Amino acid sequence: MNTSSMAEVSCRYRVTPYLHFPFLASQWQSPMSNENHSFAHNKPGRDSVVIVNHMHELYSVARKEEPNVIDICHFAFTYDMMYGNIFVH
């Protein structure tokens, strides 16, 4: 499949127009709002499931074959002003 065809398919399969980097999501919590990593840990898990499933569907339709794990790999980063965590989905 050529690049223009993949671009057409990707426009129809957008999760959101605000998702610029489908391989990376970031969540941060401010200690000033009494939230910490225990709040932030659940968010990338939820978000990453949606993104990975969506990328699997996108690549399946665009390429007409099953995507491999590397194609749909997603990284999530959480930060609370003191500590950072990186999750691979």
pLDDT at residue 79, as a whole number: 78
Is residue 6 situated within a structural domain? Answer: no
Amino acid 45: pLDDT: 75
What is the tally of structural domains in the chain? 1
User: Is 2 a domain residue?
Assistant: no
pLDDT of residue 30: 67
Residue 82 confidence (pLDDT): 77
In a domain, 79, yes or no: yes
Q: How far is CA 58 from CA 17, 28, 47, in A?
A: 15, 28, 16
The pLDDT of residue 33 is 66
Q: By C-alpha distance, which of 80, 83, 81, 63 is closest to 72?
A: 63
* Parts of the chain with a pLDDT under 70: 1-22, 29-41
pLDDT at 64: 86
The confidence score (pLDDT) of residue 27 equals: 72
